[in-house]
Amino acid sequence: EDNEDVGGPAEEAGPVELDPDLQKQIEALAASKRKETPPALLQYVMKHNTLGYPLEDPKLRILCFHNAGSAESCFTQPKTPLIDWAKETQQVEVIAVDYPGRDKLLKAKRHASIDTLAPELLAVLYDKVADGVPYVVWGHSVGAWVSFEFL
């Protein structure tokens, strides 16, 4: 019988250990992304300010990754239950990402692999996932694969 760990519920709750070398790489990339003009967060999450974010004291963030043939607008269109609920609670930030080479980031370098896309998105969203605010990840179709690699 093969006892290889294939996932499933954790024995106990808590943070997952991160490879220190990978963490240094992501933090360095995040630092460079912060210096971009406009900041990378506002390039990849175009409706961040439009939706009234950042909130002063968010209780939850929902990180949204769209399918291959779509854009962040599949999560952020006005009058959708998700956006209406987030606005009503005034405690939830919906962080819907566009991918480089798609939609309004059409001129940005397109990734041919999720192996390169996921670390870039993690660097862009690093401050949003490292500040202690709980978050959930929502991926649709290919976005589910992107979110898996992102985590």
pLDDT in tens, the chain (151 residues): 555 655 566 677 666 677 899 889 999 999 999 999 888 999 889 899 989 999 999 999 999 999 988 889 999 998 889 999 999 999 999 999 998 877 777 788 888 888 889 999 999 999 999 999 999 999 999 888 899 988 8
Taking Cα atoms as reference points, which of 131, 53, 34, 66 lies closest to residue 93?
53
* pLDDT score, position 140: 92
Q: How far apart are CA 119 and CA 89, in angstroms?
A: 31
* pLDDT score, position 111: 83
Place of tokens 């990978």: 22
Q: pTM of this prediction?
A: 0.84
Q: Which residues have a Cβ under 8 Å from the Cβ of 49 and sit 6 or more positions away?
A: 42
* pLDDT score, position 19: 85
Q: Which CATH superfamily is domain 41-150 in?
A: Alpha/Beta hydrolase fold, catalytic domain (3.40.50.1820)
* pLDDT score, position 17: 76
